[in-house]
Structure 1
Amino acid sequence: MKHWFSGLFICWILVPTVAWSQADVQIDMQRIVRSKMSVAIPDFRLVTETPQSASLADKEKIVFENDLNFSGLFSLQQDVDTLASAEGLTEVDYPAWRQKGIRWLVKTQMDLDVDTNIVSYVFRLFDIDHESFLLGKQYKSDASYSRRIIHRFADEMVLQLTGKRGMADSRIVFLKKWLKADRFSPNKNHMVKELYAVDFDGNRAEQLTWDDTINLSPDWSPDGKWISYTTFQQSVENPKLQNPNLVMINSADVKVKKNLQRLPGLNATGVWAPNGKEIALTLSKDQNSEIYVLNDDFKLKRLTWHFNIDTSPSWSPDGKQIVFTSDRAGVARPQIYIMDANKGEKGGLRKIESDSNYNDDPAWSPDGDRIAFTSRTDSGLQIKIYDLAENKLEEFTTGPYENQDPTWSPDGRFIAFTRSDRHKSAIYIQRLGETTARRVSPSDNSDEAQYSAPSWSPFPK
């Protein structure tokens, strides 16, 4: 798998010419963000029209529209091509667009060199209400990166209008579980769980591992270069040993794999610290599951000492605290606790109050103000969100399906999770404040695979 945007070059940035500061625009947008913003995306203008360029333009316009639709912030207006065709790339009849109810207008010019397969884009964002050109960018790359150029500008547009970068260019890694035919006994099957990744819009699903075994708990490094996970893959030194070990793969070249921890017993639920130099993980080397921190010198620091199970750590965004799951309040009655990342439980614990006797899978929000987790309810396992400042608990998902394994988008606007229905499971995304979710894992009806354990990538560099 190639690195996102290797081969993509930002040739130059068109300087926005606005009569007010960017902060003023963002404040204005924050005031109206609860109602979707009206935006027009006319057909892409082609410098040289060929069958190849026309086909690519039509395809990528749909990608752009989906990016904005999936953000949950925009309402795309139709029947805008007639008006746009009467204008140039830089000319805008502001009263005419305003009469159509348009708030934002995006004009796109594309050029595809069919001989070199190089594609160039020019994007221009206009503020119709203030009659101003707001943002412009130009990109040039091999046409194979065209889709990612669209994602990149969609994210830049969301950043310009809301103050937070969009999610179109992000990825989600997850596990795919299925019965696989044995290489040496074709009539026999064995269960495998391999890592896969998919774009925010549910496209470009790619297999990342071929370990031919059970893998667990994938997690992205803060810089997006590595993905750690637990694997039961046989040891090269001792083929008879199938100890659950912690490893990591390079996201740009998944053939590059490194061992992180191979102690006897469980080496699981590894999660990266925000500084990228430490990993919190669960080890059972002391005959009991405890939380440790592994630093970049491969030295371990123990944080919990309880005789019951401690697991599922998640860092606060400032790296000063760790939230985790423990059944120290009662066997098979796990609850959520917060401890100091340096002192561990010896520095005291804060219990997240919940009306359920089963809470697990905590995930700290990027803004640091909330923690999402899985909770048993009357309708089965559901995701709840705890507000740390207000000590307030709210339901994020409800029945009839079971939902678990929450992971936050890096902007804190979305949560991805595992949704289960009987014996099937898939990965879904849901925006905060909304009740409908969108599936992003493959949805082939003939595919009996199950998908679980999502982990959202950081913002691409």
Structure 2
Amino acid sequence: MLKLQTLVKGLMTLALVLGVVSGARAEMNVEFSVDGSAGRYAIAIVPFKDEAALPTAPTPVVRTDLALSGEFRMVDGSSVANVPFDPTQIDYAKWQAAGAQAIAVGKVVAGAGGQSTISFRLMDVGRKKELTSGQFTVPQERVREVGHTIADMIYQAILGQPGIFNTRIAYVLKQGRSYQLQVANVDGSNLQTILRSREPIMSPAWSPNGRFLAYVSFETHKPVVWVQDLATGSRRAVANFKGSNSAPAWSPDGKRLAVVLTTSGNSQIYLVPAAGGSPRRLTYSDGIDTEPVWAPDGGTLLFVSDRSGGPQVYSVDTEGGTPRRLTWQGSYNVSPRISPDGKSFTYIRKNGGEFRVVIQDIAGGEGRVLSTGYNERPSFAPNGRMVLYASVVGGKSVLYAATQDGGSKVKLAVINGDVQDPAWGPFNNP
């Protein structure tokens, strides 16, 4: 049986390295490349008319977002002489010859009071048919947001599922002996520091409506679970019981948190009201039960337990009952996360000296491996199309995002630092 400190140390080591804030910049400094071009949708995003007059042009944002998804291949239109701004100007035969399946065109019109109107139309090149369009009038400081929205609309029109480009990520930045809980857009922009501390901060978790973050802070020299309102900055301790309080996970309705407490001596899973209150014990074992995560229907939790010897993933009804073991391959399986549709889950499996990202159906069967090498804490994108995980490549922290079938993989290269425990936020972005 693993000792408590051994498992906790291992889980803390498996902290996903997401990005870094450079000391000279206010945004995460990331670069990306995409592997696996086969099967990706070929799209051309041509510069919008007069977008060069804006501090931030929208089309580079759209291109970066779509490439980041791993689902699209950007078409180089240098072989096409004209740059169209309107569908009537598109030479469809030449763009089809260039390999484009769709093309986005648009324009920017300056208005009064620093406002700009950005309009676009997405056209199917083969059918010469509009797929989607939009028009947005915003101040110049919101142009990047419009770029994300256009990328979301293109993603939805072509793939039939919501895009994730206006979502946010929370994570803990560690610089020396300083810890910062930070929130940023998925592309690293609009970074905000939520909490600074000389003591560790761990396990940020988003509320379903995207307004609150639960996290663990050691600022009182013991782990305590806090919930913080991102709109006002106010916060409250929701789990400050005897012993350790850790690993918060929100219920889908936002009314409860699953937490890990040691009030009984060893780590067990409890449910507490999100507003604070008395805990209700959910799991009972002589081992260590930790890392809970809710299923989307709210009726089931997945968690990690060493009750069978080594750490494995189990499920349990939120009203109690006998847990069911889900992972049987390998002697070390941790960090489960359930897909948004509740049909599958991802986790880390130790195989020799490697920690691999695995996806497995909830109903059972063998998991499919998405990675090799040393990887940490996988996480589903909120639309379920991608799984994010971290590796160390050439001594640098690198975040990978792979499509569920493993057909495409995106690399985010991170410079100068360690970021731990990311949590990808929901579609809600108040």
Q: Same fold (TM over 0.5)?
A: yes
* Residues 76-115 of structure 1: CA deviation (Å, up to 9, x unaligned): 11126955546645554444433443211111211344x7
**What pairs up with 1:6-17 in 2 under 5 angstroms?**
none
* 8 Å CA contact 1:196, 1:208 repeated in 2: yes
Please give the alpha-carbon distance, in whole angstroms, between the structure 2 residues aligned to 1:451 and 1:78.
34
* 8 Å CA contact 1:381, 1:404 repeated in 2: yes
* Residues 221-277 of structure 1: CA deviation (Å, up to 9, x unaligned): 11111111000113xxxxxxx231111222344x32222221121111001111111
**Matching residue within 355, 359, 366 for 1:381:** 355
- 2:403 matched to which residue of 1? 431
* Bigger RCO (CA 8 Å, 6+ sep): 2
SS of 1:67's partner is helix
- 1:25 matched to which residue of 2? none
Please give the alpha-carbon distance, in whole angstroms, between the structure 1 residues aligned to 2:53 and 2:41.
32
**Matching residue within 338, 341, 347 for 2:318:** 341
* 8 Å CA contact 1:291, 1:310 repeated in 2: yes
**What pairs up with 1:131-280 in 2 under 5 angstroms?**
131-179=128-176, 191-234=177-220, 242-253=221-232, 255-280=233-258
Please give the alpha-carbon distance, in whole angstroms, between the structure 1 residues aligned to 2:79 and 2:428.
33
Are 1:300 and 2:272 matched, yes or no?
A: no
**Matching residue within 4, 26, 42 for 1:38:** 42
The AA in structure 1 aligned to 2:357 is I
- 2:17 matched to which residue of 1? none
* Residues 356-414 of structure 1: CA deviation (Å, up to 9, x unaligned): 21111111111211111122112322222212235121212101xx1111111111111
Per-residue deviation at 1:34? 6.8
Aligned sequence identity (%): 26
* 8 Å CA contact 2:339, 2:345 repeated in 1: yes
The 1:131–1:38 alpha-carbon spacing in structure 2 relative to 1, beyond 3 Å, is same
Give TM-score, length-normalised by structure 1: 0.78
* 8 Å CA contact 1:418, 1:451 repeated in 2: no
- 1:67 matched to which residue of 2? 65
Please give the alpha-carbon distance, in whole angstroms, between the structure 1 residues aligned to 2:268 and 2:394.
32
Per-residue deviation at 1:194? 2.1
* 8 Å CA contact 2:56, 2:144 repeated in 1: no
- 1:320 matched to which residue of 2? 299
* 8 Å CA contact 1:225, 1:252 repeated in 2: yes
Please give the alpha-carbon distance, in whole angstroms, between the structure 2 residues aligned to 1:335 and 1:379.
18
- 2:288 matched to which residue of 1? 309
* 8 Å CA contact 1:219, 1:272 repeated in 2: yes
- 2:342 matched to which residue of 1? 368
Are 1:410 and 2:378 matched, yes or no?
A: no
SS of 2:151's partner is helix
- 2:56 matched to which residue of 1? 56
Per-residue deviation at 1:311? 0.6
SS of 1:116's partner is helix
- 1:4 matched to which residue of 2? none
Please give the alpha-carbon distance, in whole angstroms, between the structure 2 residues aligned to 1:379 and 1:131.
53
**Matching residue within 115, 118, 123 for 2:115:** 118
- 1:356 matched to which residue of 2? 330
Per-residue deviation at 1:458? 0.7
Per-residue deviation at 1:44? 0.8
* Residues 21-63 of structure 1: CA deviation (Å, up to 9, x unaligned): xxxxxxxxxxxx97122212121112xx8x743x533xx3211
Please give the alpha-carbon distance, in whole angstroms, between the structure 1 residues aligned to 2:168 and 2:39.
27
SS of 1:156's partner is helix
The AA in structure 1 aligned to 2:365 is N
Are 1:453 and 2:426 matched, yes or no?
A: no
* 8 Å CA contact 2:202, 2:215 repeated in 1: yes
The 1:223–1:103 alpha-carbon spacing in structure 2 relative to 1, beyond 3 Å, is same
Give TM-score, length-normalised by structure 2: 0.84
The AA in structure 1 aligned to 2:316 is M
**Matching residue within 278, 281, 304 for 2:259:** 281
* 8 Å CA contact 2:48, 2:85 repeated in 1: no
Please give the alpha-carbon distance, in whole angstroms, between the structure 1 residues aligned to 2:362 and 2:183.
31
Q: Which has the larger radius of gyration?
A: 1
- 1:419 matched to which residue of 2? 391
Please give the alpha-carbon distance, in whole angstroms, between the structure 2 residues aligned to 1:87 and 1:160.
20
Please give the alpha-carbon distance, in whole angstroms, between the structure 2 residues aligned to 1:318 and 1:83.
53
Please give the alpha-carbon distance, in whole angstroms, between the structure 2 residues aligned to 1:209 and 1:423.
28
* 8 Å CA contact 2:199, 2:219 repeated in 1: yes
Are 1:109 and 2:107 matched, yes or no?
A: yes
- 2:12 matched to which residue of 1? none
Please give the alpha-carbon distance, in whole angstroms, between the structure 2 residues aligned to 1:258 and 1:377.
40
Greater shift, 414-423 or 364-373, is seen at 414-423
What runs of 5+ residues in structure 2 fail to find an aligned partner? 1-36
Please give the alpha-carbon distance, in whole angstroms, between the structure 1 residues aligned to 2:313 and 2:237.
29
Please give the alpha-carbon distance, in whole angstroms, between the structure 1 residues aligned to 2:314 and 2:259.
15
* Residues 150-205 of structure 1: CA deviation (Å, up to 9, x unaligned): 011101111122121112112221122222xxxxxxxxxxx233212333234444
